[in-house]
Amino acid sequence: MELDELKAAWQILDHRVSRLEAATPARGVGGVRAELRPLVIGQAIQIVAGLAFAVGAGSFWIDHRDMPNLLVTGLLLHLYAIAMIVAAARSLFLASRVNEAAPVLELQRRVASLRAWRIREGRWFGVVGCFMWVALIVWAFALLGVDIVATRPRFVGFQLATAVVCLGVYVVVSRLARSPEGRAVHRARERLDEIARFEAG
C-alpha cells in the first residue's frame, strides 16, 4: 500500500463518517480536566488542612520557645505544614494551566510536567513523612503536658530508628518497577520521551 492509497482509504473513512447521525447523549465525562478534578479537590483540601496544621504548629512552638525539644518539634511541624500548602498550591497552578483547547503539544507538555511534579512531590512527602510522625508523637504528648523527649528519650530514639527502617522500605519499594510509584514514574518518563521523540521528528 502506498501513501496515495492511504489517502484513498482515508477518503472512504471520511465518506462513511459523513453518514453518521449525531452521537447519542454522553454516558461518561472525560477529558483531561475531568481527570484532574479529584486532584484539584484533593489539593484544595490539602491547603485547608495545611493552613490549620500551620496555625496549630505555629502557636505550639511560640508557646514553647523556652523548651528546645518542643521548639524544634514545633518548627519542624510548622515547616511541614507550609510545605503542604506550597506543594498543593503549585499542583493547583499546574492543573489550572491544563486547557483542552490549547495546542496539542503544549497541553501534553503541561500534563507531563504536572505528573512529573506530582511524582517528585510524592517522593518528598514520602521521605519526610517517615520522620514527621515522630514529631507528631512528640507534639501529641506535649499537648497532654508530657515532654516525651525529656522523660522517655529511649522511646523517641526507638521511634527514630523505626523511621529510618520505614525510609529504607520506602526507598526500596519505590524503586521497584512494579510498585504503583515505579509504574507512575515509568509512565511519566514514557510520556516525556514520547513528546521528545515527536519534537525530534
Partner 1 sequence: MAEAERRRAFEALLQTHRKIVFKVAAVYARGEEDRRDLAQEILLQVWRSFGGYDAGRPFSTWMYRVALNVGLSHARRRRERSQPLDASLIDTLGGGMPINEPDERLADLARAIESLEPLDRALILLYLDEQPHAEIAAVLGIGESNVGTRLARLKQRLRRVMTGTPPTTGERDGTR
Q: Give how far Cα 100 sits from Cα of 32, 36, 39, 93, 193, Å.
A: 7, 12, 17, 16, 21
* 45 touches partner 1 by CB under 8 A: no
Is residue 136 packed enough to be buried (19+ CB in 10 Å), middle (13-18) or exposed (0-12)?
A: middle
Range 8-27, binding partner 1 (CB under 8 A): 8-10, 12-14, 16-27
* 63 touches partner 1 by CB under 8 A: no
Q: Give how far Cα 147 sits from Cα of 5, 16, 77, Å.
A: 80, 77, 16
* 100 touches partner 1 by CB under 8 A: yes
Residue 180: CB atoms within 10 Å: 10
Contact 108, 32 (CB under 8 A): no
* 38 touches partner 1 by CB under 8 A: no
> Judged by CB, which is closer to partner 1: 18, or 66?
18
* 4 touches partner 1 by CB under 8 A: no
> Judged by CB, which is closer to partner 1: 22, or 144?
22
Is residue 147 packed enough to be buried (19+ CB in 10 Å), middle (13-18) or exposed (0-12)?
A: middle
Range 110-149, binding partner 1 (CB under 8 A): 111
User: HSE-up of 108 (CA within 13 Å, CB side)?
Assistant: 14
Interface stretch with partner 1, choices 45-53, 99-107, 118-126, 151-159 (CB under 8 A): 99-107
* 106 touches partner 1 by CB under 8 A: yes
Residue 36 CB, shortest distance to partner 1, in Å, is 10
Interface stretch with partner 1, choices 44-52, 61-69, 87-95, 107-115 (CB under 8 A): 107-115
Helices and strands, counts by H and E, the chain: 7, 0
Summarize as ranges the residues that interact with partner 1 (CB under 8 A). Answer: 1-3, 5-10, 12-14, 16-33, 35, 99-108, 111, 191, 193-195, 197-201
